[in-house]
């Protein structure tokens, strides 16, 4: 196992963040972006080089001076991170380097979702991967649930999918693994990853919307991940989107959960015995009820996207999740509902569609660990 993550001065942390987000930067670009003097930048970079966090990768002519400048990027091999994504029945893991580049992937089934058993399982996976990747220094676990800080420690206040209440999961895994462990809501963690290393890189504002078995929303405002007072920001499953509609299960008619989740689309299509993928194929083949269910889901998604624009005014919306076929199959319905809900505003809305992979959610856990260590 590598040494513990070192304490670093503010200038070094900010410089490392700039390199992480932009990939390769010159010293002059870092100094200009952060407003650092040449002396301050030299001190900041000396710390990063001493801890083997950045390496020089050649020179290039950048800027107006025409003079060559050293190019820097994050190092590989000295510092590694483990990201874990928990669902109700699967565990996904990814090992990354300091730049968020994936070095290894792993997945396995979850036999028991009790906090103690899952903490044991995550610790065991950590031990196995540390044996192959001894430079792992921290773990980030993303999971579906509301997470808040109590006395400086993360607590899973509630997780409907896992059946948890008031679980200090990070502390439980940390005690078992001996590693520094962080936890976050899975959508918030994915939003943070996209903000640094994805479609939102360099943006000051961004909304991420996930569609699948559940519906989630993450927000970047003023360059920071917003989680809300109680860790519940983005719980849009019961946002009213269409008049009427089937009961969502909680007595609402016409909310997001009445139309958009993948299992609900299957139900609304009248094909309870089939999988979501099978209903997708039926819709592609022109099955009337399947097509209607996806069109209703598309209209609901359009209202969700418009609501995000009206509330957050983001520079872009990132759309992802294993329910993305909704956007593909019902794009006209999505666009029509989006335009109608945004009226009278007519500014263009940038929507970035990100292909869905559970490995990216696990990678988001690793990026969560990196961000937390950098004080984000």
**Mean predicted confidence (pLDDT) in 198-214:** 88
Q: What is the mean pLDDT of the chain?
A: 90
Which tokens belong to 330?
A: 């019902």
What is the model's pTM? Answer: 0.89
Q: What is the mean pLDDT of residues 336-356?
A: 88
pLDDT at 23: 83
pLDDT in tens, 29-84: 898 889 988 899 889 999 999 999 998 887 666 555 556 677 888 988 889 999 99
CB atoms within 10 A of CB 44: 24
Instruction: Please write the tens of the pLDDT for every residue from 208-256.
Output: 999 998 899 999 998 888 888 877 888 888 888 877 767 667 777 778 8
Nearest 5°: the CA angle 50, 55, 59 is 130
Determine contact, residues 265/280, Cβ cutoff 8 Å.
no
Distance in angstroms (rounded) separating the CA atoms of residues 9 and 13: 6
Collect all residues with Cβ–Cβ distance below 8 Å to 57 and sequence separation of at least 6: 24, 71, 72, 73
């Amino acid at each position: 196992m590598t040494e513990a993550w070192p304490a670093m001065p503010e200038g070094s942390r900010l410089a490392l963040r700039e390199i992480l987000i932009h990939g390769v930067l010159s010293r002059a670009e870092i100094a200009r972006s952060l407003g650092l003097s040449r002396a301050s930048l030299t001190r900041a970079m000396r710390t990063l080089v001493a801890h083997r966090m950045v390496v020089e990768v050649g020179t290039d002519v950048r800027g107006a001076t025409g003079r060559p400048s050293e190019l820097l990027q994050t190092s590989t091999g000295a510092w590694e991170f483990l990201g874990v994504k928990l669902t109700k029945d699967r565990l996904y893991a990814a090992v990354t380097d300091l730049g968020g580049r994936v070095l290894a992937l792993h997945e396995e089934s979850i036999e028991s979702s009790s906090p103690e058993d899952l903490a044991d399982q995550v610790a065991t996976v950590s031990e196995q991967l540390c044996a192959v990747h001894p430079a792992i220094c921290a773990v980030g676990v993303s999971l579906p649930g509301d997470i808040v800080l109590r006395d400086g420690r993360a607590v899973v206040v509630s997780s409907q999918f896992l059946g948890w209440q008031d679980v200090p999961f990070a502390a439980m895994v940390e005690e078992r693994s001996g590693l520094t462990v962080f936890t976050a809501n899975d959508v918030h963690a994915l939003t943070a990853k996209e903000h640094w290393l994805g479609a939102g890189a360099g943006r000051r504002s961004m909304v991420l919307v996930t569609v699948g078995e559940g519906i989630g929303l993450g927000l970047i405002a003023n360059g920071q991940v917003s989680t809300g007072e109680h860790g519940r920001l983005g719980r849009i499953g019961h946002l009213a989107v269409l008049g009427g509609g089937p009961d969502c299960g909680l007595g609402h008619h016409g909310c997001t959960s009445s139309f958009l989740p993948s299992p609900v689309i299957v139900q609304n299509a009248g094909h309870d015995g089939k999988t979501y993928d099978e209903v997708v194929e039926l819709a592609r083949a022109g099955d009337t009820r399947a097509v209607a269910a996806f069109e209703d889901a598309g209209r609901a998604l359009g209202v969700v996207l418009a609501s995000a624009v009206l509330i957050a005014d983001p520079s872009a919306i990132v759309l992802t999740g294993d329910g993305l076929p909704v956007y593909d199959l019902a794009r006209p319905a999505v666009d029509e509902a989006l335009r109608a809900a945004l009226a009278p505003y007519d500014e263009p809305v940038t929507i970035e569609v990100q292909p869905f992979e559970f490995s990216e959610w696990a990678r988001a856990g690793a990026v969560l660990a990196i961000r937390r260590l950098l004080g984000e």
